[in-house]
Amino acid sequence: MILKDILAISGEKGLFRFIAQGKNAIIVEHLETKKRSSAYGSAKVSSLEDIAIFTDKEDLPLGKVFDLIHEKENGGPAPDSKSDVIKLKAWFEGILPEYSKDKVYTSDIKKVAQWYNILHNLNLLVKEEPEKEVEEKPTKVRSKEGKPAKEKTADEKPSPETEKKKKKAAPKSKTE
């Protein structure tokens, strides 16, 4: 799942979307109420993209855990985070059998279920698609006379002569 710009703020209910960086704080928008507020440097803000679940082998990113939940629940919601603790643990073990029972607490399982349901209800569970490598093809550049010039890629810098011509042709600003 793509969890970019989705935040959890310690002491605040629900999830937030990052809006902008302020001078001493970040501006966030509550996903459910759409109210904007500031999260100051003293608040503990965590990006869901950076959160991982401890397993016996290696840590599993929260996005991958949400993918597993989505598969297990056939795109439906997860159990309510306020349901019976034993049922929640059994449900979570069915999704991620190798999770570390010593390091992952019941409160963590409740948060995962709650966050998944919030994102599910708002249709924000977007599957991560494997990145396809885009091969850059060179573009053909034509000279002023219309003749084909040498092939040039987008990241290639123009020659110093071309730069000088551009500077001469550019109008001067009032500050110069």
The CATH number assigned to the domain holding 72 equals 1.10.10.1650
The predicted-structure confidence for 39-65, as pLDDT tens digits, reads as follows: 998 899 999 999 999 999 899 999 999
Residue 153 domain-assigned?
no
Residue 144 domain-assigned?
no
- pTM for the model stands at 0.69
Per the structure, the complete domain to which residue 16 belongs is given by 6-121
Number of domains in the chain: 1
**pLDDT at residue 176 in the model:** 45
**pLDDT at residue 133 in the model:** 53
3-state secondary structure of 6: strand
Rounded CA separation 102/12 (Å): 26
pLDDT of 149 over the 60 cut: no
Residue 172 domain-assigned?
no
Closest CA to 118 of 10, 17, 11: 17
Which two three-digit tokens encode residue 15? 């999830």
Mean pLDDT of the chain: 81
Contact (Cβ atoms closer than 8 angstroms) between residue 120 and residue 153: no
**Antiparallel, parallel or unpaired: β 16-21 and 25-30:** antiparallel
